[in-house]
Structures are given as structure tokens and as C-alpha cells.
Amino acid sequence: MIQHHIEACTKVPSMKEILLVGFYQPNEALSRFLVSAQQEFKIPIRYLQEYAALGTGGGIYHFRDQILSGSPEAFFVLNADVCSEFPLPEMLAFQQQCGDPHSFVMLGTTANRKQSLNYGCIVANTETNEVLHYVEKPSTFISEIINCGIYLFTPTIFQHIGEVFQRTQQELLLEDSTNGWQRAEVIRLEQDVFTALAGRGKLYVYKTDGFWSQIKSAGSAIYASRLYLSQYSQCHPERLARNSPGGPTIRGNVYIHPTASIDRSAVLGPNVSIGKGVTVGAGVRVRESIILHGASLQDHTCVLNSIVGWDSTIGRWARVEGTPSDPNPNDPYAKIDSETLFRDGRLTPSITILGCNVTIPAEVVILNSIVLPHKELSRSFKNQIIL
Amino acid sequence: MSGVLEGAMREQEQRLGIRISLSHEKEPLGTAGPLALARELLTESLEPFFVLNSDVICDFPFTDMVRFHKHHGKEGSIVVTKVEEPSKYGVVVCEAETGRIHRFVEKPQVFVSNKINAGMYIFNPSLLHRIQLRPTSIEKEIFPVMAQDAELYAMELQGFWMDIGQPRDFLTGMCMFLQSLRVQHPERLHTGPGFMGNVLVDPSAQIGENCTIGPNVTIGAGVVVEDGVRIKRCTILKGSRIRSHSWLESCIVGWLSSVGQWVRMENVTVLGEDVIVNDELYLNGANVLPHKSIAESVPEPRIIM
């Protein structure tokens, strides 16, 4: 997923290094990814692990010395859980035009009135694009321009974050709390920093109409995949699979990793991504799905609106199907809903997810279900979470 | 509708070399009234006649029935069959040795007998004196009187029996029929790679490659089953097409229907005549009326009209 972020960063001339900041434990998969990404994109990439979950601003504040080492003029901050065209060079050009070399730029896009309440809302001066007012997830309508979670900062941002940190610490000292020092380091960029910066001539918004989506649920991953694949079809068509004699039938935008092995009678797409070393048997149909590394789809299976986890196996004639939760196609500004898992006591129909190393026997149907890793199923399941 | 029936009966007349007459009720006359309607046809000869409900399947032991009826010499014989759950039906209480019927009990609450009316009878023409030309139920109005008059006898059916009025029971009856075929005429069943258990395939049907058909499948004339199809416990009626990679279990596919590619149908899905099911759908217990086109999955059982 962050491969797209990294690739977008390398498009900015004069990008010197990439830092990944997070609370996850590093593991082998991450290390291998970093190695291959550095080889592919020829830029230093490091992972910095937070010692505790520090909120959307605490992490960069904690590692500010690392970020500022080498004296960069500016740096981008990208949330990993967004899918976007990443118009980073355009944001940089926009900032340089703004006049103030210490100004910060936030990427914004348009949402519809109702859904804007789920995001950070930006009110900006229409001529100068200065952010006049910012509210994170308001309860009443503020603006249709929302925060994309992609920012361009200069080193002076740390002064502002530092002020927030000091202030929070003071407040906590007044309270009687044992974990005061730790909690002060949790800084929310949106609520604590941007809200204060709005209207002070420091924060600007660069509006984009390019594609953008949040990726908070599995359903969003499939939607995001569709957006990226269609971006590829315009900018990198050579990365997408094409119909060829003796090859499988390809419909729409399909990505197939070179090491995957696909039977010629299979029909793939639209919106399919096939990972490394995947085996797709005879007469298989895959549509609107992501098949992760090492998975195996045996003959005549049908996989629709699903994510099949690493090294999973789907038996012959099985059907693995989910329900898409795409935004309203008639509204150009509609965004994908962050779904509630349950509604009225039942599991909301959603994308079917098979965890890693799941075995689906032959001839069953798995519908709107979530299967946890390493499960070996013995029968059909519908609308269930299988633990 | 009756035009189709008349045409089919004419074919059978020619094939079997017998006379088939059709008696058409203008209004529904129940289970006894139609006999009064056909009084003239039935009394042409003095011989006893069969009355058979068309929605049952069994071995049809007609010779045994005739022998039994002539032996007791009374007015009527009913074939009865033993079932596991008699309370779902009307049960017959009869004498073990002679088979003389004492009485009928509708859906008994306590165990009375495990023999139920199998829907096949032989009557002497004198029966017709008991029936008037009006809606009449033979089970409720005629049989109890005949039982009191000691004129009704029960012959127990050996072998399989099923009421096939409901789709679910139709498929169960089909399985029983195929099993009896395996015992009596195994050469009529289809064998070979890709065929499992009891499968009946019309010679004019075409089955593709890499299919697995059976157990318990009946495939009608002119049916085309494309490559990579899995069919279990289904009846595929004449002229249908099952497209590649689909998976069907416990279904009835109506005449001239078309099931798309990568379709999954299960749980007594019934397609009427000339139904089209689009590719990649999932039908679970869908009952589809004739000439419909299905473009969306049916994840829970319902009727599509």
C-alpha cells in the first residue's frame, strides 16, 4: 500500500530520504520491503518505531531531530491509510508561489455535504487559499473541502507542535495523573495544531480534483485498488496485464505479478490484483478482488469482491464472494463510507476477507464473511466472522 | 397449456398403440368428482379401472394390484405405503392379513398406523354410483363410507414411494427412482470418467470436458452442459444449457433455460421454462417463474416473479 506513497515521493526532484514512522513492531516482511523499495527507487528509506502510540502529530514531533538532520528546506508528511494521486510536486510549486517560505500546505479535496462531517473540514480564502478555519470531524456542516492527510511542512512546524506539547504538559500537571508525561507526547495534528494555526497566515490548502480515498476498512482497499489500477492505465499502462493469445482473458484493469501462474482459461477483472507466486487454476473467475502472495485458486473457483490472504487455498468449484461498499457513483464527490461492522445485531454485508493461510474446501460458498488466519474450513459460511 | 398436454398424449398414443382420452374439468371437481365427469368413458366396459394420482413416483406394481383386487373381489383397492412420519399425511387403519380397511385418520396426533394412502386405486365401475357430479373429496367423503361397507381393501406397496408435488420432494423421489433403476436396469444409467453415482443422461445431451456429474442427476434431451460444470442431485429439463464452470446442487432447471458461467445454484432452486440466469450469480433456494431473466444474486430463498 505504501509503495504508492514511496513512489510518489520519488517523483519530487530533490527528495533526499523517506522515513516511515509508526507504532508497529518491525518484522521480516517489513525489512524485506524496505530493502527492495530502496533498490527499486534508489532512495534511503528507514522505519522509525514509536515507543507508544503518539497520535497523528506526536510521532513526527518525537523524531524531529531525525527529520531535521541534513537541514531539509521542507518535508512532506503522508498518512499511510490514504489512497491518492499524490500531487506532491504541484504542492511544492504551490508553496513556493505562496510568498511566505515558511508556510505549510495541506492537500484538500471536495466531499459532499453529508460526508464532509467525517473528515477535517477546511475553510479557505478563495483567492489566497489561506486556511481561515479548520475543524476536525465537526458535528454541523462547515465546509465541503476536506483534509486529505497529506501535508507539506517546513522545519518551523516543530515550534508550533512544541507549543502544543508544552501546553498539554502544563494542563496535565494541574491534573492528578500518574502517566502525565506519556500522555503529553500524544499530539493530534488536526485538532491541536491545525485548528490553532488556522487564520494566522501560516497554513494554506492546495485543492486537488485527483482521486483520493481513505483506506480504513477492507472494503476501501478494493476501492483504492481500483483507483490505483485506473491511474496505472493512464500513466503506466505497461504495468497492467493485457490479453494475449495463450494467456488468460483480461477484462478491464488487472495487475498480475510476474511470478504468478495463471491458467489460460481463467477470466480476470475488472479491478483485480494478483500477487507474487499466486496460482490460478483452469476456468477460474476473479473480479473486483485482491489475491495476496502465494495464494492458490483451484479449478473453476469464483472469487468476487474479496481479499484472499497470503498462502491461502481455495478448493475446486468454491465460491468466495463479498458485497462491495463503493461510494455512490452518481456523486462525483462521494467518498467511501466507513462502515459499522454490525447493524441491527447482524454483520453488515461487506467484502469477504480470508486471512493468511486459510483453507477453503471444494464446492462450498463463503459469502460476506471474515475468516481469521490459519483457519481450515469444513463447510459453507455466510455473513459470519469465523474465529 | 392443455394444447401441450394433448400433443404429448397423441405422441404417446402412437408410440404405445392404445387410446388415450382426455376429460377436462371446467371447474375443479376435487379428487372424486372428475370420475363422475368421466362416467361414460369409465363404464364402457364392466372391468375394474385404475385411478392414479400423477404426482407420485414408485415402481407402479400394476399387475400385483390387479391380482390383489381380483382376489378379495370387493369394490375398491387402495395401495398404501409405509412411511417414517405418518402424521404428516392421512393414515390408513387396516386388518393385517386381509388388508380390509377399517378407517382413515387425518394427521393423527398419536401413533395409529404407519401406512398412508399412496394415491393409486383400482375400482369396480359400481363405485360411480357413490359419486355425484360436484366437487367431492374421495378421501374424506367416499372412502370412509366404503370402509364402513367393508368394500375397501389396502395393498401394501413394496419398494420406494414418494409424493413429488413439491420441488424438494421431487428431487428426493428422483433419487429413489434412480436408485431403483440401478437395481433393475443398470444399463440405462450413464457411467464413465466424470460421472459419479446414479446419473441418467438422454442420448441427445452433450456434456463438456472436465465436468463432474452426479450422484443423482437426470439430464434431458438436447441439454448442453459446457466444460468444467459440477452438477449434484439435480434435474435438468429438455433443451437447457448450463454454461461453463457453474456449480449446481439440488436444483430443477426448467425446459429451454440457460444458466450462465460461474453460477452457483443450490438448496432447491427451481427455474421455470425459458429462464435466463446471468453469469457469476449465486442462487440459494430461488424459485423463478417462467420467462424471467435473473440479473442479481438471490442469497436467501425467495420466489422471483
pLDDT of residue B204: 97
Q: Which three cell numbers stand for residue A198?
A: 488556522
Confidence check: pLDDT of B155 > 80: yes
Q: Tally the residues of chain A.
A: 387
Q: Locate cell 394415491: which residue?
A: B119
Q: How many helices (H) and strands (E) does chain A have?
A: 10, 31
pLDDT band of residue A52 (cuts 50, 70, 90) is confident
What residue type is A269 in one-letter code? Answer: G
Q: What is the mean pLDDT of residues B50-60?
A: 94
Confidence check: pLDDT of B5 > 90: no
What's chain A's average pLDDT? 90
- Give SS3 for A109: strand
pLDDT band of residue A182 (cuts 50, 70, 90) is low
Q: What's B119-178 look like in SS3? A: EEEEECHHHHHHCCCCCECHHHHHHHHHHHCCCEEEEECCCCEEECCCHHHHHHHHHHHH
Chain A residues within an 8 Å CB radius of B299: 367, 382
Alpha-carbon gap: A384 to the closest alpha carbon of chain B (Å) = 14
Q: Which of A249, A251, A305, A317 to mutate to test the interface with B (most CBs of B within 10 A)?
A: A317
- A284 to chain B: nearest residue by CA? B245
Do the chains contact at A363 and B210, CB–CB below 8 Å? no
pLDDT 10s digits, A236-270: 999 999 999 889 999 999 999 999 999 999 999 89
The answer to whether the beta carbons of residues B153 and B72 sit under 8 Å apart is yes
Q: Tally the residues of chain B.
A: 305
The DSSP-derived string for B205-227 is: -EE-TT-EE-SSEEE-TT-EE-T
Strand B230-232 versus strand B276-277 pairing type: unpaired
pLDDT band of residue A171 (cuts 50, 70, 90) is confident
pLDDT of residue A141: 92
Confidence check: pLDDT of A179 > 60: no
The answer to whether B301 contacts chain A (CB < 8 Å) is no
Chain A residues within an 8 Å CB radius of B280: 285, 287, 302, 304
Q: Which of A284, A300, A320, A380 to mutate to test the interface with B (most CBs of B within 10 A)?
A: A300
Q: Which three cell numbers stand for residue B65?
A: 394390484
Percentages (nearest 5) of helix, strand, coil residues in chain B: 25, 30, 45
pLDDT 10s digits, B236-295: 999 999 999 999 999 999 999 999 999 999 999 999 999 999 999 999 999 999 999 999
What residue type is B223 in one-letter code? Answer: V
CA dist., res. B50 & res. B65, Å (int): 9
The answer to whether the beta carbons of residues B281 and B268 sit under 8 Å apart is no
Which residues, 6 or more positions from B283, have their beta carbon under 8 angstroms from its beta carbon? B263, B264, B265, B266, B269, B277, B294, B297, B298
ipTM of the complex: 0.82
pLDDT of residue A253: 95
Query: Active site residue: B26, B74, B107, B115, which one?
Result: B107
Do the chains contact at B262 and A282, CB–CB below 8 Å? no
pLDDT of residue B107: 78
pLDDT 10s digits, B156-195: 999 999 999 999 999 999 999 999 999 999 999 999 999 9
The answer to whether B209 contacts chain A (CB < 8 Å) is no
pLDDT of residue A97: 87
Q: What are phi and psi of A218, to 5 degrees?
A: -65, -40
What residue type is A356 in one-letter code? Answer: C
What's chain B's average pLDDT? 94
With b for 16 or more beta-carbon neighbours within 10 A and e for fewer, the A253-277 pattern comes to: bbbbeeebebeebbbbbebbbbbee
What residue type is A55 in one-letter code? Answer: G
**Element (DSSP H or E) covering residue A234:** helix A218-235
Confidence check: pLDDT of A86 > 80: yes
| Among the ranges given (A331-345, B2-16, B120-134), the one the predictor scored with the smallest mean pLDDT | A331-345
Among B158, B178, B174, B157, residue whose Cα is nearest residue B166: B174
pLDDT of residue A344: 80
What residue type is A333 in one-letter code? Answer: Y
pLDDT of residue A167: 86
- A383 to chain B: nearest residue by CA? B299
The answer to whether the beta carbons of residues B29 and B124 sit under 8 Å apart is no
Q: What is the mean pLDDT of residues A360-369?
A: 96
Q: Locate cell 505549510: which residue?
A: A104
Domain ranges of chain A: 2-214, 243-386
Domains of chain B and CATH, by start? 28-36+45-163 (3.90.550.10), 167-303 (2.160.10.10)
pLDDT of residue A176: 64
- B300 to chain A: nearest residue by CA? A382
The answer to whether the beta carbons of residues A232 and A217 sit under 8 Å apart is no
Confidence check: pLDDT of A377 > 80: yes
Alpha-carbon gap: B284 to the closest alpha carbon of chain A (Å) = 10
Confidence check: pLDDT of B230 > 70: yes
> What sign has the CA pseudo-torsion A35, A37, A40, A45?
negative
Could you say which architecture CATH assigns to the domain A2-214? Alpha-Beta Complex (3.90)
Chain A residues within an 8 Å CB radius of B244: 283
pLDDT band of residue B112 (cuts 50, 70, 90) is confident
Q: Which three cell numbers stand for residue A184?
A: 503529553
Provide the CA A79 distance to its chain's centre, in angstroms. Answer: 7
Domain spanning A243-386: CATH 3.40.50:
no
Query: How crowded is residue B175: how many other Cβ atoms within 10 Å of its Cβ?
Result: 19
**Whole-structure pTM over 0.80, yes or no?**
yes
The answer to whether A287 contacts chain B (CB < 8 Å) is yes
pLDDT of residue B183: 95
pLDDT 10s digits, A107-160: 999 999 889 999 999 999 988 899 999 999 999 999 999 999 999 999 999 999
Q: What is the mean pLDDT of residues A291-302?
A: 96
Enter the DSSP assignment of A207. E
Chain A residues within an 8 Å CB radius of B245: 283-285, 300, 302, 317
Confidence check: pLDDT of A380 > 70: yes
Active-site residue flag, B107: yes
CA dist., res. A149 & res. A137, Å (int): 13
pLDDT band of residue B152 (cuts 50, 70, 90) is very high
Q: Which of B 55-114 lie inside 8 A of A, CB atoms?
A: none
Do the chains contact at A321 and B262, CB–CB below 8 Å? no
Enter the DSSP assignment of A368. S
What residue type is A127 in one-letter code? Answer: E
Q: Residue A378 forms beta bridges with which residues?
A: none
CA dist., res. A130 & res. A315, Å (int): 57
Strand A18-22 versus strand A352-354 pairing type: unpaired
Do the chains contact at A287 and B280, CB–CB below 8 Å? yes
Strand A306-308 versus strand A352-354 pairing type: parallel
Confidence check: pLDDT of A180 > 70: no
Which residues, 6 or more positions from B221, have their beta carbon under 8 angstroms from its beta carbon? B202, B204, B205, B238, B239
Among B196, B209, B252, B205, residue whose Cα is nearest residue B224: B205
CA dist., res. A340 & res. A329, Å (int): 21
The answer to whether B261 contacts chain A (CB < 8 Å) is yes
